[in-house]
Chain A
Amino acid sequence: MGGAVTAHLHIDSTSLVHRLPAHAKLLGLLALVLTVVAIPAGAWGPLAGAVILGAAVLASTRVPARHTLPRLLVDVPFVVFALALPFLARGEEIALGPLRLSAAGLVAGGTLLAKATTGALAGVAFAVTTRPQDLVLALQRLRVPDPLVLIVSFMVRYLSVVGDDLARMRVALVSRGFRPRSPAAWPVLAASAGALFIRTYERGERVHLAMVSRGYAGHLPAVEAPVTEPAHWATALLPTGCALLLLLWAVAP
């Protein structure tokens, strides 16, 4: 319902990470993930270090685990895939009790698990400390093209509106005795999805009309960038620095 999106991701607090400018955090996150991805497969020491680093970043937000753990469910598909890899991959096999596992699959799965988990930890740290509106501003400050910024901004703004539309349609269906229990209900669900699409499309047209009426001519008004102090950048890029050391450790002869 209203505000569900923002309510689910961002947790208000005053930690150091919360106070960092969003664009510095976003760049820091991107640089960290790219660096961790560059760590070679099977470099277990550095990969374990990366996971600990990700956990440390998340811990530094001081957001209680009861808020962060549910958000880390985003990592589940990677965990499942990583666990499946040793059974699916071909090549040299090693015996582990009754199981026969692919050696290459074990290495690939373990590496994927470490990298994906690090990314999820850092991503959740960004999400819980950054308000959606700050994310939009951050993209704008990083000179992401206006149409992309607008798409993200409208998604942030209208997801709850569309969600409310959907909830009202569902209530209206249920109120008339509709029970989506069998494939016979699919045509009705498809029609609802179609109606929702048309409504959303029409709303898009009305929003555009309102924008044009207030002088919109294809460009967002420029945002005045607040001063980002060197200390902010240093803090935001600190995890990347640590990850670089891990990478060096992994590739050092």
Chain B
Amino acid sequence: MSAPVVDVRGVSYAYPGGQPALRGLDLHVHPGERVALLGPNGAGKTTLVLHLNGILTPASGSVSISGLTVSRQSLPEIRRRVGIVFQDPDDQLFMPTVRDDVAFGPANLGLRGSELADRVHEAMTAVDVQALADRPPHHLSFGQRRRVAIATVLAMRPEILVLDEPSSNLDPASRRELADILESLEVTVLMVTHDLPYAAQLCERSVILSDGRVVADGATGLLLRNTDLMGAHRLELPYGFAVPPGPDVA
């Protein structure tokens, strides 16, 4: 198998109050995969995500991104490789215009002039927001802001796109449009979500995190049909929803 994009080994972390958040967690994500990270509130999903780009440092264990270990020296390159799209686009879009915001990351990488402009254009095209380039972010609809937030991260050409609750607060049409866009991207995706149908639609593989540990890792369809496993970790499919039959091999 190819070298993993994400290689998390034995990572433990406790918050300053001493409350353990991650307890010896292992996770591998391989190039081209789309993986859903599922689990109840407080399972440690966000804590894990913040370890991937070195915002948090593990008390023990190690995190590598495409072979590069996360350390103080490697932080700039790690943050290029790991693109995190946060849940609230208002937190992510802080520059006066969409174009400035999409340019923020690559400019921090040292890109200038036409190279920077090309990169911005490429990212905006990927999520179909070119027409919004000169608009201020607060004039956009929520779905547009979510797409721009993804563009701001794509502009850094990440090796893995980490999405925190990508479908939250979207109306059904925006939700479907975003799914179409995510399916069209040729990038490895780790998607943190409570939206189990979205996970079933977009991710062939899912990982269930509970109490700081990986408790299940396999084909999304298989996991979602395992009602005992799901129930044990406070996960439930919405009323009336059944996982459509599909390949059960991740």
Contact = CB atoms under 8 A, between A and B. Distances in A.
Interface in B69-98: 76, 79-80, 82-84, 86, 88, 90-97
A154 B93 CA distance: 10
B86 A221 contact: no
B86 A3 contact: no
A168 to B, nearest CB: 13
B90 A161 contact: yes
A132 B156 contact: no
B139 interface: yes
Contact of B136 (A3, A137, A210): A3
Interface string B84-125: 101010111111110010011101110011000000000000
A3 B105 CA distance: 25
Interface in A200-242: 203, 206-207, 209-217, 221-222, 224
Contact of A210 (B80, B82, B92): B92
Q: Which of B86, B95, B97, B152 has the most CB of A within 10 A?
A: B95
The binding surface of chain B is classed by DSSP as helix
Given A6-B136, A213-B53, A154 B94 contact: yes
B137 interface: yes
Contacts of A215: 76, 79-80, 105, 108-109, 156
A199 to B, nearest CB: 12
A139 to B, nearest CB: 11
Closest 8 CB pairs of A and B: A133-B96, A221-B107, A215-B108, A214-B105, A206-B91, A210-B92, A213-B84, A160-B138
23 contacts: A3-B136, A3-B139, A6-B136, A132-B96, A133-B96, A133-B97, A133-B100, A153-B94, A157-B96, A157-B138, A158-B90, A206-B86, A210-B94, A213-B55, A213-B82, A214-B104, A214-B105, A214-B152, A215-B80, A215-B108, A216-B104, A221-B108, A222-B107
Given A157-B94, A213-B83, 14 more contacts: A2-B139, A132-B136, A133-B100, A157-B96, A158-B90, A158-B94, A203-B90, A203-B91, A206-B88, A210-B86, A214-B105, A214-B156, A216-B104, A224-B113
